[in-house]
Structure 1
Amino acid sequence: MSGVTESAKALPCDCPDGLISIEQACSRAAAYATVIREREEVLLGQALGRILAEPVVSVLPLPPFDQSAMDGYALRAGDGLPSGTSLAVAGRMAAGDEELPLPQGSALRILTGARIPRGADTVVMQENVTRASGRIILTRMARSGDNIRRRGEDVEVGEALLQPGEPIDARHVALLAAQGYERTWVRRRIRIGVLSTGSELRAHGERLGESSFFDSNRPMILALARESGADVLDGGIVRDDPQLIAGALSELARCCDLIVTTGGVSVGDEDHSMVALVGARGGGETLKIALKPGKPAVVGGIGSATYLGLPGNPVAALVSWLHLGSAVLAALDGRRARPLSGMRLPLMHAFNRRPGRTEFAPARIVQIDGSSAVEILGRGGSARLKPLVAADGLVRIEPLHAPVAEGDQVTFHPFRDGFSV
């Protein structure tokens, strides 16, 4: 089991009451992760979202030959051909055609992507000529080198293109495909086990009692884990018994790289996450984070598996996952965590809050006099799901920004890019 690094402990924080910053918490959680080294070769069509396992070096120049950058006429300009020059059109070349020689004193009709014919040194845009009776007349001066994509100007042979640890997206797929790669080496998928703790929780299909309710956290975290590209294992619901929770953690640790639980991370009588972690022969620490919602969390490890204990309220679990989960997944992949993307927008109303913690709240974008602003939804509270569903994203309010006045700028993190971490 990895321990907390000194750099993680040394991160500065001006947080009150012994709380640690979000950045400190993410660093401490990531310190328990062991980078996954196992790899597998997959077809390029199956590589989307996977983590590259080896460097990619170019084997082909791009473009592979000098080619026309637009539709026009290939000719030899030499030191320059003045406007009014007349040339016979000796043929036509389209993309994929075999190369034609350029007859002296002539031009060839050429289309975008076609190979530059032997003897030509420029392409004149079709808009810059007039054509009649099989000839063209230049309407502006032609200069050597215009409108030609040179062989290897994008990528040269032997150039380092991609590095291990990069998540493969559509851009990387395009580059690999252009290089002729049919397969690529990727790290195996992260295996995440998810379970909920709480004697009040019921799984779907079970009968609800007077004091029970359906578990929403586990399905949410399972969905978030799948969205991250991981293989997931549903650990079910375990009632509030430290021995039972420890047994469930031990089982998941045998096959998972990351174990995520929700509930039981605070200091109440039925908060057993830390005790269960130790009972499963693991170790870790309870974090008190300057974060709202999501102040408490437990991080640690059992053998080679990383453990992440999130709060039990759904919005708190979501916000904690977006930060701590992203940090751990990145560490398992051997890459840096991608920060949440956001934009600065004015708040359309005042928002009263106490200073001290970074606060996240569901919000939607509204249009006011043609400009965008954000509106915080609901009356607050980390157990409310309806505002989360109605929201376009989350607003982030910095620790010392209190109270927030109407028109104050806040950071808005949209959901449109998904919850992937």
Structure 2
Amino acid sequence: MMAANLTPVEEAVAHLLTQAPVITESESLPLTECLGRTLAQDYQVPADVPPADNSAVDGYALRAQDYTEGQSLPVSDRIPAGAAPRPLEPGTAVRIFTGSEIPAGADTVIMQERVEVTDTGIRINTDVKADQNIRRQGQDLAEGTLALAKGTKIRSQEMGLLASMGVANVTVTRKMRVAVFSTGDELVDPGTPLGPGQIYNTNRFTLLGLLAEAGCEVVLCETLKDTRSVTRETLEKAAAQADLIITSGGVSVGEEDHVRAVLEESGELSLWRMAIKPGKPLAFGTINGTPVLGLPGNPAAVLVTFLVVGMPYIRTCQGRLQVHPVGQQVPAGFAVTSPSVRKEFVRARTELVDGKTLVTSYSNQSSGMLSSACWAGGLAVVPEHVTVTEGDLLTYYPFTELLS
């Protein structure tokens, strides 16, 4: 049975996504500045790509039926890339280069490695057939078709595709504005000597990196003192500036865990405690209408819960087409002998073992072990209430996919 008062992961994520307001504001940016952003509109193809038939190789263009095996075919012209070709003279070939437009009358290109240059022209050392080595007009994109849909994340390949259509400025969804707060009087910033009972603020920098990779803009970033009044005032201030507030720590059951209490007293708490390992004490609610995602305080739990819960929420707010990672099925290279009531996201990586690709786990899965995530390449999922034997198939999510 599910542990009392723990929300299953899928149910928790589904709840958050129903509460995710999609950002409708957009901006126009130069194509060079659009990497990682989300398209705010569909992009139709304005003209065929490529705009004309062109050569896929360096070689010679001709009409296939003009060539007889063993003959020497005269060369009548030379067409460099970027030049407008003259029509092919019947019974001849033309020297052509990769990307050069195919002259009218030619229907094939023979790559130069298959051609012998003679005193009278060229002799071909391969079969000559029509349509060889020609990239046809509209082969990549046909005029009037949908090239990229609204909600697509712009990667390097989307930048290239937009460029191929002549798009210089792109309409993208504005960046999601996020406020980040760490809680705890024991936290100090790197570069400051540690005093008794103090630790460095790990979670701030983990979250700043994750949010940058997620394409968000951080509008506030502070460490909260462990008082109810400061927590309330800071969250209310952030609510006026941010689309989302993310906290780390302060959502468990301790006397100094004020984030959850403030949401209950001054806002709304709609989710608390999730059946996930690591990261059980996770909270979600609102303050002054602004969503608040309260992550656990342990460093590895912050990373895992952000990736599993926070990223689908952010993608939904960004209007992304792909909200959930797909994952891959990989045989386990480790065993789990004691089933858990919580779904476990194991810091793991794929390795080649005896010729087989297996997903192997870090030896210490403590929620405080952030070094495990540096060793790992992603997260392997061990469902609740199951044991794992080596060789069992597990769902594995590479970090690159969890953050894509």
Give the TM-score normalised by structure 1. Answer: 0.87
Given the alignment of the two structures, is residue 72 of structure 1 paired with residue 59 of structure 2, yes or no? yes
- What is the distance in 2 between the residues matched to 1:348 and 1:169? 33
Cα deviation for residue 260 of structure 1 reads: 0.2
Cα deviation for residue 22 of structure 1 reads: 1.8
Q: Is the 8 A contact 1:25 1:287 kept in 2?
A: no
Q: 1:342-381 residue pairs with structure 2 within 5 A?
A: 342-381=327-366
Deviating more after overlay: 104-113 vs 335-344: 335-344
Show the counterpart of 1:3: none
Once superposed, what is the RMSD of the aligned Cα atoms?
A: 2.5
Show the counterpart of 1:390: 375
- Tell me which of 263, 269, 274 is aligned to 1:289: 274
Show the counterpart of 1:308: 293
Deviating more after overlay: 363-372 vs 21-30: 363-372
Q: 1:166-315 residue pairs with structure 2 within 5 A?
A: 166-204=152-190, 208-280=194-266, 282-315=267-300
Given the alignment of the two structures, is residue 55 of structure 1 paired with residue 39 of structure 2, yes or no? no
Cα deviation for residue 244 of structure 1 reads: 1.6
Cα deviation for residue 141 of structure 1 reads: 4.6
Q: Is the 8 A contact 1:222 1:234 kept in 2?
A: no
Show the counterpart of 1:413: 397
Q: 1:24-173 residue pairs with structure 2 within 5 A?
A: 24-78=11-65, 81-173=67-159
Can you give the 5+ residue segments of structure 1 that lack an aligned partner in the other structure?
1-13
Query: Cα–Cα, structure 1 residues 115 and 45, in superposed 2: closer, same or farther, change >3 Å?
Result: same
Amino acid at match of 1:412: Y
Deviating more after overlay: 229-238 vs 248-257: 229-238
What SS does the aligned partner of 2:303 have?
helix
- What is the distance in 1 between the residues matched to 2:324 and 2:257? 30
- What is the distance in 2 between the residues matched to 1:171 and 1:102? 35
What SS does the aligned partner of 2:100 have?
coil
Cα deviation for residue 206 of structure 1 reads: 5.3
What SS does the aligned partner of 2:73 have?
strand
Cα deviation for residue 182 of structure 1 reads: 1.3
Can you give the 5+ residue segments of structure 2 that lack an aligned partner in the other structure?
none
Show the counterpart of 1:11: none
Q: Is the 8 A contact 1:202 1:215 kept in 2?
A: yes
Query: Cα–Cα, structure 1 residues 291 and 94, in superposed 2: closer, same or farther, change >3 Å?
Result: same
- What is the distance in 2 between the residues matched to 1:364 and 1:160? 37
What SS does the aligned partner of 1:296 have?
coil
Cα deviation for residue 178 of structure 1 reads: 1.1
- What is the distance in 1 between the residues matched to 2:297 and 2:44? 46
- What is the distance in 1 between the residues matched to 2:312 and 2:180? 17
- What is the distance in 2 between the residues matched to 1:262 and 1:366? 32
Q: Is the 8 A contact 1:71 1:112 kept in 2?
A: yes
Query: Cα–Cα, structure 1 residues 99 and 345, in superposed 2: closer, same or farther, change >3 Å?
Result: same
Amino acid at match of 1:38: E
Cα deviation for residue 326 of structure 1 reads: 0.7
Query: Cα–Cα, structure 1 residues 138 and 389, in superposed 2: closer, same or farther, change >3 Å?
Result: closer
Deviations 1:110-151 (A, max 9, x none): 222111112222223334443311322344553333332221
- Tell me which of 295, 311, 326 is aligned to 1:326: 311
Q: Is the 8 A contact 1:265 1:286 kept in 2?
A: no
Q: Is the 8 A contact 1:50 1:167 kept in 2?
A: yes
Q: 1:6-25 residue pairs with structure 2 within 5 A?
A: 15-25=2-12
What SS does the aligned partner of 1:97 have?
coil
Deviations 1:335-358 (A, max 9, x none): 245434544444444333323322
Query: Cα–Cα, structure 1 residues 195 and 119, in superposed 2: closer, same or farther, change >3 Å?
Result: same
Amino acid at match of 2:6: L
